[in-house]
Amino acid sequence: MALVGEWAARASEAGAELAVFPEAFVGGYPKGSTFGGFVGGRTDAGREEFARYFSSAISVPGSETDQLGAVAARHRMHLVVGVIERDGGTLYCTVIFLGPDGTLLGKRRKLMPTGAERMVWGFGDGSTMSVYDTSIGRLGAVICWENLMPAARMAMYAQGIELYCAPTADGRESHHATMRHIAQEGRCFVLTANQVMRVADFPADHPTPSGDDRPDAVVSRGGSSIIGPLGQVLAGPVYDTETLLFADLRMADLAGAKYDFDVNGHYARPDVFRLEVNRSPQHAVIAEAAFAQNTEAASRDAAPTIPSRGGRDLPEA
């Protein structure tokens, strides 16, 4: 929490209007942890480790989001922050959006935890796949390997996303290639952020994925970058060094970028391809009277995300 304030202050001093933080920046990305889980069993030590991790998560909304909102308001800037969200007994990998007045604009839960993440994080649903209309542009987020899901990307393009935020824990060079592709595909600005972490940044009993226990050994190598709407690299990628990346984003460039390619407009083929998105919240238990309403809402909200000409809100079927 304190680091969000420190980095936001530095960004604000440099004139930034938007700061994007990495995946699980608040609550922590437990790289290397197994939580004592294996096929067919769990350990008591793993349950204790999960309980500690659970205690570091936050409620959204909650007192912690109020604190982060105060940071955004203090610096008059938009913040996009990766957090670990606690809801009942389940954790979610979530991104929150804060406006320059401190308002919690909304949240985005990761749809598909990857690999061992599924042992500790729940699955988000389509109800949080929103793009927010802000004073600096249409703002949204897709998290880590969700960026490899074409349907998830298309759902965001269909809402007219302009500032495509990609908090991640992926520091491979292939992630940078993916970000450049998305910027060209969506004709949007892409801002991706990943943490730089070393062994010394973790508790002493935390396992090191590489087996290198030196305090300065790199556990997460970063790779943050900012990409323009034609795939041009505006800043980064930066590896193995903690830093702030800055870029002046000319929103007027977006129109020209779509001159020859608009994935949700003149380059779309809605007569050939159709994508439906279920935007209804999914609950394990609902009242009988509400069940029919929820089913009806799901049918109504499951709509193609490729309208005939560049719509922003997901259209009705």
Kindly give, in sequence order, each residue whose CB lies less than 8 Å from that of residue 116, ignoring residues fewer than 6 positions away: 34, 37
Residue 168 token pair: 């991640």
Q: Nearest to residue 224, comparing CAs of 21, 18, 6, 8?
A: 21
Residue 107 token pair: 């949240």
Does the annotation mark 110 as catalytic? Answer: yes
Does the annotation mark 144 as catalytic? Answer: yes
Q: Which of 64, 110, 117, 162 is catalytic?
A: 110
Q: Nearest to residue 186, comparing CAs of 35, 62, 310?
A: 310
Q: Which of 23, 49, 117, 162 is catalytic?
A: 23
Q: Which of 144, 165, 185, 258 is catalytic?
A: 144
Give the catalytic positions in this structure.
Answer: 23, 110, 144
